[in-house]
């Protein structure tokens, strides 16, 4: 259980991030939702408050240091602590390297990687003082396998895992763990649009033969946030049905 712990989750207004936030709320945590999707953010907050009435939501662009700094400050004003940080916000801007524009490269790195650095740095200050914390970054199976047309996304996710290992070493003495969860082929609005041929080709690479559900990722995050995972740090938990076995 995560009773009365404060969990900040980025990109939590929709998709996997929203399901992660909901799962943490069901386990007793007080949630702080961060997203730039104003309408969906309020909808997510309403849903999560059914399980965690004290939860809050702040509209913020994770690429803006002033925005995330304000969101963290408001969180500390209300709760005086942040026990769990889930860096989930991420985007794709797919293109072959030869055709990829600099804007698409920079945008993906800015949201998927640089925002993680800034939020981690801000949150670590309070975690170090409390001598407790759980930081969980949402990576991806393609950070290990590569994927044509996603050089920017793959680079950001591979770097995210290296970043997590380094931070884990730096703060372990303060009882702070830093880990990653790497989803594989997870059912989503985007994957539901795939044609049957593309879907079958992906499923053929998965030993379990089925796509994952957002809840599968949320359960992994909840475990790493729990007391049961106290001796796990600097690692990546793969949630991919055997698509990659590392």
- Catalytic residues, by residue number, are 153
Residue reference for tokens 């055709």: 99
Q: What are the distances in angstroms from CA 178 to CA 10, 79, 134, 183?
A: 16, 22, 6, 17
Whether residue 221 contacts residue 86, with contact meaning beta carbons closer than 8 Å, is answered with: yes
Whole-angstrom Cα distance, residue 224 to residue 219? Answer: 9
The Cα angle at residue 141 between residues 199 and 98, in degrees rounded to 5: 80
Outline where the chain has alpha helix (H).
Answer: 15-26, 38-48, 65-79, 102-109, 115-130, 142-145, 151-171, 189-192, 196-203, 214-225
The answer to whether 85 and 133 have CB atoms below 8 angstroms apart is yes
């Amino acid at each position: 259980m995560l009773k009365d712990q404060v969990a900040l989750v980025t990109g939590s207004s929709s998709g996997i991030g929203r399901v992660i936030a909901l799962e943490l709320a069901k386990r007793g945590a007080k949630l702080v939702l961060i997203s730039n999707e104003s309408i969906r953010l309020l909808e997510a907050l309403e849903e999560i408050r059914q399980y965690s009435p004290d939860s809050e939501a702040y509209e913020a662009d994770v690429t803006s240091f002033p925005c995330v700094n304000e969101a963290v400050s408001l969180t500390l004003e209300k709760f005086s602590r942040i026990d769990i940080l889930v860096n989930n916000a991420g985007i794709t801007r797919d293109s072959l390297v030869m055709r990829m524009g600099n804007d698409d490269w920079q945008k993906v790195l800015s949201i998927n990687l640089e925002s993680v650095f800034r939020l981690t740095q801000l949150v670590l200050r309070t975690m170090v003082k409390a001598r407790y914390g759980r930081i969980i970054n949402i990576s991806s199976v393609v950070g290990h396998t590569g994927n044509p047309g996603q050089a920017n996304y793959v680079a950001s996710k591979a770097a995210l895992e290296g970043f997590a290992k380094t931070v884990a070493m730096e703060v372990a003495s303060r009882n702070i763990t830093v880990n990653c969860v790497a989803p594989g082929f997870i059912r989503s609005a985007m994957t539901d649009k795939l044609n049957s041929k593309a879907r079958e080709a992906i499923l053929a690479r998965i030993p379990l033969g089925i796509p994952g559900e957002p809840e599968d990722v949320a359960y992994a995050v909840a475990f790493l946030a729990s007391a049961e995972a106290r001796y796990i740090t600097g690692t990546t938990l793969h949630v991919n049905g055997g698509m990659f076995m590392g």
